[in-house]
Structure 1
Amino acid sequence: MLVRLMYASRAATPLADADLAAILKSSREHNPAEGITGLLCFSDGVFVQVLEGGRNAVNARYKRIVEDRRHQDVILLAYEEITERGFAGWTMGQVNLQRLNPALLLKYSETGRLDPYAMSGEAMAALFKEMCASGAIEVH
């Protein structure tokens, strides 16, 4: 059974570009073996990530994230059973907010700043969908 999970968390310590690159590299190396695909957004110390795959694999990954000391204030934004993946081609895509029209953020949030703690899971999912359509995703 396929599921999609979306969560947000705050980085426990400041992250440099190299730290984020290492996280993405690790995800891209390990996700295929677990059948996990998804998308990661990091802005102003906040992670928002969508994970898709088998229920057991996605649940186990989320449990590791919740227990990871690099994350704090982890919240579950959405969890659903799905019939098909939305991010099947990406072992882990990355949102490039510099390529994003600021009006798109304002469409779904109170301000033009990405703040998943002030957004519903439904709004965050719609925003991710539009980010994909807008070409704001980088896949390496």
Structure 2
Amino acid sequence: MHHIIYMSTASWPMTDAELQELLRQAQQGNERLGITGALVYGDGQFMQIMEGEQATLETLYAHLGQDRRHKGLFKLADRPIIERRFSEWSMAFQVVSPAGFEQLVGYVAPARLTQQLPDLGAADSLFVERMRSLALAPVPE
């Protein structure tokens, strides 16, 4: 089992309808491929955790790099894991505020992506748990 965590920037401000379509496509594709994970979106940024077989994730990540809906794809973590942390979701999803992103352990503001990234090794567990809590949070009205 493996996971990849990445960030990217939306190519344009995404509408609710566009986000719903993105989520529908991700859930269908991930279910077919045996991938689980979570996606958060806010302030024009995406952050996603994908879990599954390494070869499948590598193929999907390469495909994501060609998706016109986002740019600046930046991999934060790519490593083996003992077990899935999002096994109940083909793709959990949540829209979050900019402050919500800053609460993620290991989050790096897009302006700092060219600088040295923190090592997520020790922070993976905290990061994953925070993503789970964001994905489970009620959607603000």
Are 1:45 and 2:11 matched, yes or no? no
8 Å Cα contact 2:85-2:128 kept in structure 1: no
Q: Secondary structure at the match of 1:87?
A: coil
Structural RMSD (CA): 2.9
5+ residue gaps, structure 1, are: none
Length-normalised TM-score, structure 1: 0.77
2:130 partner amino acid: E
CA apart distance, 1:96: 4.4
CA apart distance, 1:64: 0.6
Aligned to 1:31: 30
- Superposed CA offset, 1:103-123 (max 9, x none): 8945848xxxx7553574625
CA apart distance, 1:14: 1.8
5+ residue gaps, structure 2, are: none
Aligned to 1:80: 79
Are 1:136 and 2:120 matched, yes or no? no
Are 1:126 and 2:126 matched, yes or no? yes
Within 1, Cα distance between the matches of 2:51 and 2:70?
20
In percent, how many aligned pairs have the same letter? 28
Runs (4 or more) in structure 1 with deviation over 6 Å come to: none
Within 1, Cα distance between the matches of 2:104 and 2:36?
26
Aligned to 2:91: 92
CA apart distance, 1:4: 0.4
Length-normalised TM-score, structure 2: 0.77
